[in-house]
Amino acid sequence: MQDNDSKEDDAPLRIALVAHDAKKDDIVDWVGKHLNLLRKATFVGTGTTGGRIKKAFPELDLTPLFSGPLGGDQQIGAMIAEGKLDGLIFFVDPLSPMPHDVDVKALNRLAVVYDLPMAQSRRSANMIIRGMMMEKYGTIDL
Ligand X SMILES: O=C(CO)COP(=O)(O)O
Which position among 53, 72, 88, 110 is part of the footprint of ligand X (CB under 6 A)?
A: 72
Q: Which of 25, 61, 73, 115 is catalytic?
A: 73
Interaction of residue 73 with ligand X, rule CB under 6 A: yes
Interaction of residue 71 with ligand X, rule CB under 6 A: no
107 CB contacts (<8 Å, ≥6 apart)?
18, 73, 74, 76, 77, 80, 88, 90
CB of 90 to ligand X, least distance (A): 7
- Nearest CB to ligand X, comparing residues 100 and 130: 100
Q: Is 81 exposed, middle or buried (0-12, 13-18, 19+ CB in 10 A)?
A: middle
| 73 included as an active-site residue | yes
Interaction of residue 74 with ligand X, rule CB under 6 A: no
Cα angle 78, 66, 114; round to 5: 20
Stated as kind and residue range, the H or E segment containing 49 is: helix 47-56
Rg (CA), the chain: 14
Interaction pattern, residues 18-57, with ligand X; x per rule: CB under 6 A: x-x-------------------------xxxx--------
Say which DSSP state 33 is in: H
| Contact set with ligand X (CB under 6 A) | 18, 20, 46-49, 67-69, 72-73, 104
Which residues are documented as binding site for substrate?
20, 24, 46-49, 67-68, 100
